Structure 1
């Protein structure tokens, strides 16, 4: 028997424990365990008022917040199924997920999102808005705060059902990089097993402070930045937004961070920019990285032992102060991380633990540990998770964290999970000394017209290490040579080609960029070229630039 909501209700014995901090009405406000349980009880009163029964679906389309937690915990405690949605997604996609899941109610961030949703012809769905100016129900939108307040006299003790382990807990729609998302069905057993496996790594402690900024609708943040700290009783601070992230890091001083590589890529780029005009600063930083990494590997000499504390105090500490000065580790996932960047931060004294997973695995499959950290890898498999290589070196995973299947899509489920229970990840990998090395996506292997094959991810990761490039996508499938689309302020194609290829010297000689399409407009979630977890939508980018791509290859054929 199991229930995810035990993560919250276990704190009923310590009602004054501060679990969350959120910026409300121009000030930071702390929320104690008792307040969170009471808020969850309020949402349960709402669910009862609708006559909802175990198995019914309810959707969440909110920014990270205490209401997100209370809604989710209140729902799953009663056996309802929570359906998290991306608040920055377009109304059409959000409406599709609501209707596909059969959700009976959805709580959204504000009236604008609510009204846009209603334009999508939602049927038989109650739409509640958290940040609402509506006094009474208007045009099908209800003020969530007013609705909850009206139910104050109907509050009952927190309802926590003892459920069968394989009871459906949540349907998570994969953001995807093309096409309509699929609903991943995760059980209470799946979530609890994955959280317990992460707990065994001892990377989260009761005294820790987490800063949450990745969307909780993504299982990486939901497991690492929500369920895990709640499981151990750590405090979670909700960042005000990505634009305020640098200030929130500095003022709130977290000890643990779950992040995507882009965050550290940008921070590393700022470090490089700050030292490039000073030979002394540049040499000092290079010395720190050299000595620090050597010491982390246990290969430091006597001189290194004396130098490292001084280098970290004089060079690293001012840099790490910008991250709050107390960060003891960061777990990075969701995309590949350049090991050069990881090694730099590790050398400074901040362990960057590169991990790997997918929503279908709830989501963590593997992660590096603070001891024996190898940034080129995504670490060993979690406790209770099995991994092996299948046909074409595809990484397979099996364990109690593997999804029940795809919502109303048995064919896709059978393709993803074989008869022996192995999840087919679609990623090409190597396993050496129990560590997993991701080498690319099976479907993303690019084949040039001359038959040469390569993984664009490896080359892209190398090129993006040059800070002249903000975002890139390599092209060349079925074409005679490799091209690139790049977001950059530099429009000198010859210089950019030279700089890109300088980063590719370690790869086979045929993997070289011959032409580049440049743009100054960044790819964002808003313009549909990034997923909500900041992954580039390769197919969408290529579609957006198809005319320039055709022109590029037409010109190139005459070279």
Structure 2
């Protein structure tokens, strides 16, 4: 790859990318992290970031891990997560990023499956919960706890336990480092849920990562003056590529958000210029806006008028066909007569200030963006572009650009990436971004990755004028609005292992969390209702908070082996069985999901609106 990174030249591995960046702009601002003790932001330039990584690399070398050892990282976004990840890569080992809110059983499964040698956690309690999950971890040699000042028990058995300071203190300036990685070596094993219910480890190479970063850089073009706000978990490939390695290639600054709870405040204070997010963040802002407008018809008229006029202006600038006014006149009323500069000042500017007021590109990925959200933010001036990808493609396949932005599509394929439509309108992808395969699962790999290098995505699509439009899914995988993937069939099977639930139907596509509709076993319901002091014959008992809470608690126990995001957080209870006769089951006794979704549409909607 020649001149893949402007100003850096050529990099073939992620460690080379960091080294080249530190050499090119050593004093350029690299990272900011909130220092609670000092009450201020801690800053690192690129030279300091590289020095920190080198210190972590020497500490890692002292443990004596085997070549290409897997190192699991269970840390919140921040300097420690970056430093550990980079040190693992620099020493030829393989990061296994873990989701911070995943349940201990799922984490233990990943540690065992990936044959992890070292685990880095923020708190000792995280390790203790994983240890107590009951899964044998014969390959695990050591655990490093990053929380400062936490007393640790004496190491017992084969697993050594270190504090971060003690671990780093083992490293000497002359500590020899193992050879760095080659382009075809693994840069990560990222676990993603599949149809088997157990997560699969996607093997991504350094060549995969470097190719995808270079291709995204050519399309999104961040600069050293840009500021990213990092808040999506680094366990997500979308954040790793677009919010972590991409700014490294561009020399942009990354500020680590303090927490999700403080995200709105951080957006206003940090004032990022590049935003990498899943649809859920935009949904939250949109919902808050609508909640505020509900109390003021005057502001609602202004908002509708600004959104409609801005949307028409956006479509005209992009050369997209104008939409009919429809009921826009009724929505905006007299406010539609106001000039755009005034509507922009009264409506658009205050909304954009919630994102800091200087975002020049906002990338949405990980899950589909709803047309209503796109219309709102694009109409009011947020430069929002939608992309498409999957963990198996490192992950970005395509993305719109600021000057070629059709929000009804996911844009054009990145440079060097090939796409085509296969049987059943399935989108297929080939190119240097396609994974090496699934860890220790050759049969699963062969099912999606052909000998010719074409990857079957499982998504139906059409390609019109070079733009990709996603139509739906061939495989039954729920993708929440936060980008988490959940196999409904396996989860439903786990739930119905409880005698209380005769049948289960889980939902959550493009929603913020998983919910369930269940048919109760009459005898078990009568028993549970009696314990709760409810009359099982009264229909109102099915919606009683005590009954709902008890059902969710039992679901949580049955879904203990699933990632935490797959555990239902809301439930609708029913006593009417789903049968072939009432058109809710197929002759082979499979759920007719579309029929169930239509029948329970109001109930499902209430599960999300009442929270």
TM-score (norm 1): 0.80
Match of 1:374 among 406, 416, 437: 406
Confirm or deny: 8 A CA contact 2:518 2:574 kept in the other structure.
Answer: no
Verify the 8 A CA contact 2:228 2:243 in the aligned structure 1.
yes
**Matching of residue 146 in structure 1 with residue 171 in structure 2:** no
C-alpha spacing 1:348/1:458, structure 2 compared with 1 (3 Å): farther
C-alpha displacement of 1:105: 0.7
Q: 1 CA distance for matches of 2:298 and 2:338?
A: 20
Matched, 1:130 2:149: no
CA distance in 2, matches of 1:373, 1:530: 41
2:450 to 413, 418, 423: 418
Partners of 1:329 and 1:427 lie apart in 2 by 26
Alignment check: 8 A CA contact 1:11 1:33 kept: yes
Structure 2 equivalent of residue 493 of structure 1: none
How far does the alpha carbon of each residue in 1:128-159 deviate from its partner, in whole angstroms, 9 at most, with x for none?
11115126744556333223342243455987
Contact preservation (8 Å) 2:59, 2:169:
no
Match of 1:242 among 260, 263, 273: 260
Alignment of 1:271-420 (within 5 A): 271-298=289-316, 307-420=339-452
Residues 157/224 of structure 1: CA separation in 2 closer, same or farther (3 Å cut):
farther
Distance 1:64 1:472, change over 3 A: closer
Residue aligning to 1:73: 86
Are the equivalent residues in 2 in contact too, given 1:46–1:151 (CA < 8 A)? Answer: yes
Does structure 2 retain, via aligned residues, the 8 Å contact 1:172–1:184? yes
Matched, 1:10 2:42: no
Q: Please name the residue that 1:513 is paired with.
A: none
Contact kept, 8 Å, 1:87 with 1:109, in 2: the verdict is no
Shift in Å, 1:384: 0.9
Instruction: Give the whole-Å Cα distance in 2 for the aligned partners of 1:541 and 1:348.
Output: 35
* Structure 2 residue aligned with 1:260: 278
Following TM superposition, by how much is the alpha carbon of 1:181 offset from its aligned partner in structure 2, in angstroms? 0.5
CA contact (8 A) 2:124 2:152 kept: no
Structure 2 spans left out of the alignment, 5+ residues = 1-10, 323-334, 479-504, 520-541, 584-598, 600-611
CA distance in 1, matches of 2:424, 2:552: 32
Structure 2 counterpart SS, 1:5? helix
Q: Offset at 1:476?
A: 11
Q: Distance in 2 between matches of 1:530 and 1:24?
A: 37
**Residues 210-245 of structure 1 deviation map (CA, whole Å, 9 limit, x = unaligned):** 111111011000001100011111111111111111
Q: Is the 8 A contact 1:107 1:144 kept in 2?
A: no
Change (3 A) 1:192 1:414: same
1:436 aligns with 2:468: yes
User: Among 529, 551, 554, which residue is 2:576 paired with?
Assistant: 551
C-alpha RMSD of the superposition: 3.7
User: What are the residue-to-residue correspondences of 1:20-31 with 2, within 5 Å?
Assistant: 20-25=31-36, 26-31=39-44
Of stretches 20-29 and 116-125 in structure 1, the one that deviates more from structure 2 is: 116-125
The answer to whether the 8 Å contact 2:34/2:258 transfers is yes
The separation in 2 between residues aligned to 1:248 and 1:99, in whole angstroms, is 37
Conserved in 1, the CA contact under 8 Å of 2:102 and 2:565? Answer: no
Deviates more, 1:358-367 or 1:53-62: 53-62
Structure 1 residues 545 and 221: alpha-carbon distance in aligned structure 2, compared to 1, 3 A threshold: same
Say if 1:137 and 1:143, in contact at 8 Å, map to a contact too. Answer: no
Match of 1:85 among 98, 102, 120: 98
Q: Is the 8 A contact 1:397 1:425 kept in 2?
A: yes
**Matches of 1:541 and 1:553, distance apart in 2:** 20
Do the aligned partners of residues 154 and 242 (structure 1) sit closer, same or farther apart at CA in structure 2, a change above 3 Å counting?
A: same
d(CA) in 2 for partners of 1:535, 1:294: 42
Confirm or deny: 8 A CA contact 2:76 2:100 kept in the other structure: yes
- Asked if 1:226 corresponds to 2:248, the answer is no
Alignment partners' CA distance in 1, 2:543 and 2:310: 38
Shift of 1:73: 1.3
SS of the equivalent of 1:201 reads helix
Q: For the residues of structure 2 that align with 1:209 and 1:169, how far apart are their CA atoms?
A: 25
The offset of 1:472, in angstroms, is 7.3
CA contact (8 A) 2:152 2:163 kept: no
Q: TM-score, normalised by structure 2?
A: 0.73
Q: Secondary structure at the match of 1:28?
A: strand
Find the aligned partners of 1:376 and 1:518 in 2 and give their Cα distance. Answer: 41
Distance 1:103 1:471, change over 3 A: closer
CA 218–280 in structure 1, closer or farther in 2 if over 3 Å, else same: same
After superposing the two structures, state which structure 1 stretch, 403-412 or 96-105, moved more.
96-105
Distance 2:176 2:79 in 1: 19
SS at match of 1:131: coil
Measured in 1, the distance between the counterparts of 2:224 and 2:212 equals 18
Measure, in 1, the Cα distance between the counterparts of 2:435 and 2:544: 41
Shift of residue 164 of structure 1? 3.6
Q: 1:442 to 1:31 in 2, by over 3 A?
A: same
Once residues 187 and 72 of structure 2 are traced to their aligned partners in structure 1, the CA distance between those partners, rounded to angstroms, is 12
Q: CA deviation at 1:429?
A: 1.2
